[in-house]
Amino acid sequence: MLIFGGDIFKFAGDAVLVLWRASAQELAKTISLVLQCSRQIQRKYGNRDTHVGQKLRLKIGISAGPMDLLLVGDRRRQYFLICGQALDELREAEELANAGEVILSATSWELCEQHRLRTRRLEDKRAVKVTGMDRMSSSECQDALRKLVQHPRSRHLEGEGAMRPALPLPSGPNAHDMLSKYISEAALRKLDDRVPLDLFSELRPVTSLFVQLQLTAGINTVATHTVVHDASRMMLEILCPHKGEINKIVLFDKGCAFLCVFGLGGEKLPYESIHALQSAIQIFNSCSTMLMETEAVSVAVTSGTVFCGVTGHPLRHEYTVIGQKVNLAARMMVHYPGLVSCDAATYASSRLPPYYFKELPERKMKGLSHPGTVYQYVGITEKSIFGMGLAKKRSEYAPLLGREKEIDLFGSCLKAYEDLGQRHILAFEGTMGSGKSHLLTELAYLGQAAGHRVVAMELLEVNVRQSFCAIRTLMARALGLQDCEQCGARQRTLQTALRGTIEESSFCLLNDIFLVEFPVSDKVREMRGIERKKELHSTWAKVLEKTIGGEFGIFVIDNAHFIDPASWSIMSPVLRNVSYFMVMSLAPGYARTEGFCKAAADNTTSQKITYLHLDELKPSAVVQTVCQNLRVDSISRDLARFLIQRSSGIPYYCKELLGCLLCNDMLLLRSRRRAEKAEDNWESLITSAVEASPLAATSSSSAGNDGRVCIIRPDVNPENTVLPTTLKEIALAQLDRIKPLKQTVLKFAAVIGPVFTTQLLSHILPDGMRHKMNCLLDMLVSDNILKWLKTTEVPEDVRDPTKGPGTSRQAGSGVERPSPSKKTTERQSGVLVFCVPLLREAAYELWPERQRVALHRKCAAFLERHAHKCKSCGQGDFVAFHRFTVTSTRKGGSSQGPAEQGDPHSWEALVLAGEQLKRDRTHGPEGALQQQQAFLEEDFGVAGWFLAKSEQTAELPSKTNRKHSGTCSCECKAIVESVLVPLARHYVAMGDAARAFYYLLESAAAYLHVSNSYVALMKLNEAEVLRNSLEKKANVIARFEEATFFSLKGEVCWRMGHVKLAKKMLREALSLLGRQFPRTSMGAFVKSQVEKLPYATYVARRASSLPQEARRKRLAWLLRQSCCLSLLEHLFSLEGTSSGQTFCLLAARMKANTDRAVDSYQAADSCHR
């Protein structure tokens, strides 16, 4: 388009508006130029497959004529758009076009060079379809381009054509401020913080709000400008307090439409769906009542993950949102006119009571096969005016767990109130999800059980902007008005309860607040302005005093931080003068919460307010709560560790994570096995290992569950679960509080993993950000988002004086460090940890797929330099000569970046990171069990079971002498955690299954090398799942990889005492390695005779003739054969039968021949070095 002289004026989802500015005399030539451009676009892109599997098909409409430029907005934000008859004709032409077609409007057909075109008339239409044209020559195109309206600041593209600004650009000192008004605030924040443009884009959960104004037919340009300008100003006024923004205004797609977005980068708020729905109903009401020349207003709200970022050409792009949810909002806006509609996701995430909504009939929408249930948001109804009780329901199975301290405090405060009769407020402060609502529900139940009258209410985010909402809800529920459906019944209830409290003439002041119809008295009718307001406040204060102080009772207010200012102005003085007992919950960050906190700290009021912060649940309480919710006796330790670490002890997080696992069918519920013999196969071995030592709940929470246990499915890795949308939005709201550049660094770190080194982070960061990395990391540490990894410091009296003082990040790692400055040394081996796992996962999921894959590739390239044994173990592969057996698939993984091959500081940092990862994997949070304080695998019953099994066997003889076998104190334990396991994860994320399988085998071999059979078993199980997913794809996994897989299975089975299964696996491995091991005595006899034949000379000659890489590949095969034969020899020697002795001797002879071949190849390799 740019080469042909066009200028992209607007992007609108799946549509683009392009302008050619030409004089009236040159319109005919310009239309031919546009047609030639359109036909070329159709040829190249008209029918195109995309990488996401969707087929892209284009249709084009063309019109010509004068257009008017409109500028709308307020002093903060400005928008530009065009209107006119040509735009109306363009819209009609586009609607008439089918995929692959070009349609000319009636006016452009009259103005064009008709002799060039081949067209077809459309039935009952003046527009025409272009079926062909005589191409313009190169000189004609150049001439037409030169005659287009030029702008003084035109710039020429490389090659032919010109790029011209569609609008005159401002100049001078105020140019930046003027242009900033036309750019999204989310994009401006990133620009101001110097975030690179190619890092703007994210996959982010947002709420989209589409508004359509149906303008009066025949409206002129001046009136259109007035309507759109007024509408944009009203919308901006409504959206700004809710952190929403108008992303674009278009007049050419669906009439006059506004796309508004909530939750863009830096603007995420808790309760986002409620903010969007509130804004939607306000916009609907304001536009419907205040805009002239508007026939109808339609608003649609959707929630979901969309692409937020820069789209378009490098020279013409914009910051916008694209995705299915945006399309759904646009369709709903059209198919449900004249109301505020929302999708099922918005309905669910708002967590508003059902009476705020009304289900709408299903309608077919273009391009959407299953749009889901659509609701009308009706806002405040008669039922919602009187509020609602506590939304949380008390568990029918058992009492609330983990809040014993809070419940005891409630009991003691209530008893003091009963004895002394003094007023008291018990306030619980907690973050979102900390269990405040569940706690208040439990306390309300306990108050009722003690025989007290309990008046409970829950406030919502929508209530804080509704004047007198809190006081009305409290009084209505205390007086029982929520049960009175008719106006007359409410009037009789009020008269009965308030007679003698307020004068008869003042009852009419309650009409609006309680939806009653008392006759307006002469006294009230004569009141004006301030006098009437004072009387109204006085009346409400009397009613509130009667309601709260009239009789003994407990008042429970959930989300008291949502008490509106108007209500508090009346409640505050009344609460100082009456006797009452009130329990409330508060969230940090609100003015009302700060007020109660200060009052609790004030000596004059501290005796009347008890203020308590809700801590996270202890790990033991998390386990008990999960068992209670699942109605099981116990859960597996892997499940407990996952939930405890991810939830950080926050009940709501734990509930959502558990719900996500259940919805995705990732858990198994089964009765505990009692001394029954399991089948001797691989699947049974995995299941037995997982079930071997579950975490038990307390007897009170597990009574009547018949010994049922919940485990994670063996074919599932919970680490790969996608974060639930609810938790992602909470995490993003926290992330958006930090500056864009810090958030960008955090996103890069999230790709690496929960623990990362500064060297690896520097390697994957763009060049322009590396010099800022250290400063940004320190700021993130000060924000408590990251923390430096701390190690045990070496005491001064035993330090080597040549090393200098150990730093908190390096001391105690046991390796010598160079002597540069302290700051340099810290950065060379810096290791950081995410403080909150959910923040890392939320940051990671913001990456668009292509960028995410590219970063995983960079991480893999860096880590592969260190994917080997430690120096004390020989620095080779954990599967001997493994790297020579497979074709490398490292594409794009060059050694770019500051770290070089073999950098000792990188190795030291990775060892430190690995030690932390091992602690995270093997240790749960302190106090997870009452009797056991750590999740050490060596302390697990499961590990004890493995060790007991392996004690029945002797140490396996091997040609390779393992210096650290059994009690490995080398650095391999750390390297497997920080290098091999992450490498498998990176390659899975890249979609490179073969390479992922390779590193899963290396990981399993490494865990066997350090005598950790349980985790080796789990890694082989992951490899099994990956292998099964690739069964239909031929030749993805190499033959040697298959053989290694079965040989490692055999070794694990042997270590766990499954001798028969180990033999089966090892025979399968030898078969794949080309060394069949017989199953019968006759076969063993024949094979033994063959093995006696001399072939050493042939092997030596062949070894010396092969190139080095082929020789080492053969060595890998031979060493793997030797390992399998050695283990078979040992297993058959344990049988004590003649048959076992025969197979033992055969295995020994085959191994001896294999070892001679190994010696020949190693000798040849030494000679050729």
Kind and range of the H or E run holding 34 = helix 27-45
Give the highest mean pLDDT range of 5-19, 237-251, 491-505. 237-251
Give the mean model confidence (pLDDT) for residues 629-649. 88
Report the pLDDT value the prediction gives residue 823, as an integer from 0 to 100: 44
pLDDT tens for residues 1024-1039? Answer: 999 888 876 667 788 8
Instruction: Among 294-308, 367-381, 952-966, name the most confident range.
Output: 294-308
Using the predicted structure, report yes or no on whether residue 10 has a pLDDT greater than 60: yes
The arithmetic mean of pLDDT across residues 210-222, rounded, is: 88
pLDDT band at 1057 (very low <50, low <70, confident <90, very high): confident
Instruction: Give helix 1039-1055 / helix 1013-1029 axis angle, nearest 10°.
Output: 140
More confident residue, 760 or 527: 760
Nearest to 790 by CA among 960, 919, 952: 919
Q: What are phi and psi of 220, to 5 degrees?
A: -85, 175
pLDDT digits (tens, 9 = 90+) for 168-190: 666 677 778 888 888 899 999 99
The SS3 call for residue 909 is helix
Position 284 pLDDT exceeds 70:
yes
Q: Stretch 155-179: mean pLDDT, rounded?
A: 61
Residue 865 per-residue DSSP state: G
Distance CA 439, CA 298 (A): 41
Q: What is the pLDDT of residue 576?
A: 78
Per-residue tokens: 1146 = 């055969």
| pLDDT of amino acid 305 | 93
Mean pLDDT along residues 545-551: 71
pLDDT of 898: 37
Per-residue pLDDT, 811: 31
Instruction: Supply the pLDDT for residue 952.
Output: 39
Task: Give one word for 486, left, alpha or beta, with left for phi > 0 and alpha for psi -120 to 50.
Answer: beta
Please count the CA atoms within 13 angstroms of the CA of 372 that sit on its side-chain side. 15
Q: What is the predicted pLDDT for the residue at 217?
A: 81
The one-letter amino acid code at 386 reads F
Alpha helices in 757-800 (DSSP H): 758-764, 767-770, 773-782
Phi, psi of 102 (to 5 degrees): -120, 125
The interaxial angle of helices 637-647 and 651-663, nearest 10 deg, is: 130
Mean pLDDT calculated for residue range 493-507: 84
Distance CA 166, CA 315 (A): 12
Higher pLDDT, 640 or 964: 640
Distance between CA atoms of residues 1037 and 599, nearest Å = 68
Q: How confident is the model at residue 415 (pLDDT cuts 50, 70, 90)?
A: confident
**Direct distance between the N- and C-terminal alpha carbons of the chain, in angstroms, rounded to an integer:** 61
- In eight-state DSSP terms, residue 803 is T
Tell me how crowded residue 668 is: count the other CB atoms within 10 A of its CB.
Answer: 16
- Given this model, what pLDDT does residue 809 score? 32
Q: What is the DSSP string of 676-721?
A: PPPPSSHHHHHHHHHHSSPEEPPHHHHTTSTTEEEEE-TT--GGGP
Query: How far is Cα 44 from Cα 52, in angstroms, rounded to an integer?
Result: 19
The stretch 318-332 carries a mean pLDDT of 91
Cα 328 from Cα 14, distance rounded (Å): 13
H or E stretch at 842: helix 837-844
User: What is the chain's mean pLDDT, rounded?
Assistant: 82
Residue scoring higher pLDDT (803 or 243): 243
- How does pLDDT run across 96-148, given as a tens digit for each residue? 888 888 999 999 999 999 888 989 988 888 899 999 898 888 888 888 888 77
Question: What is the number of alpha carbons within 13 Å of residue 228 lying toward its C-beta?
Answer: 28
- pLDDT for the residue 968: 46
* Stated pTM of the model: 0.86
CB atoms within 10 A of CB 151: 16
Please tell me the distance from the alpha carbon of residue 1091 to that of residue 89, in angstroms, as a whole number: 88
Please, are residues 248 and 79 in contact by the beta-carbon 8 Å criterion? Answer: yes
Which position has the higher pLDDT, 564 or 820? 564
How far is it, in rounded angstroms, from Cα 342 to Cα 328?
A: 10
Please give the single-letter amino acid code of residue 632.
Answer: V
Per residue in 851-891, pLDDT (tens digit) is: 999 999 999 999 999 999 998 888 889 999 898 887 654 44
CA distances from 276 to 346, 353, 562, 814, 1144 (A): 9, 16, 17, 56, 75
Could you tell me which residues are beta bridge partners of residue 208?
261, 302
For residue 213, CA distances in Å to 259, 342, 610 come to: 12, 17, 52
Average pLDDT of 711-738? 87
DSSP state, residue 1043 = H
Q: Which of 1004, 1087, 1086, 986 is nearest to 1041 (CA)?
A: 1004
**Of 1048, 1144, 1133, which is closest to residue 682 (Cα–Cα)?**
1048
Phi-psi category of 200—alpha, beta or left, where left has phi over 0 and alpha has psi -120 to 50?
alpha
CA-atom Rg of the chain in angstroms? 37
Percent of the chain residues past pLDDT 90, beyond the cut: 33
* Residues belonging to the chain: 1169
Reading phi first (left if > 0) and then psi (alpha if -120 to 50, else beta), residue 352 is in: beta
d(CA 117, CA 114): 5
* Span 739-771, pLDDT tens digits: 999 999 999 999 999 999 999 999 999 998 999
Do the beta carbons of residue 400 and residue 438 sit within 8 Å?
A: yes
- Measured CA to CA, the distance from residue 475 to residue 833 in angstroms comes to 50
Q: Hey, what's the torsion of the CAs at 65, 71, 73, 77, to 10 degrees?
A: 110
Highest mean pLDDT range out of 430-434, 514-518, 1004-1008?
1004-1008
Identify which of 275, 276, 321, 305 has the alpha carbon closest to the alpha carbon of residue 205.
305
Residue 498 binned pLDDT confidence (cut-offs 50, 70, 90): confident
* pLDDT value, residue 453: 85
* pLDDT higher than threshold 60 for residue 804: no
SS3 label, residue 99: coil
Report the alpha-carbon distance of residue 742 to residue 777 in Å, rounded.
8
Q: pLDDT category, 777, cuts 50, 70, 90?
A: very high
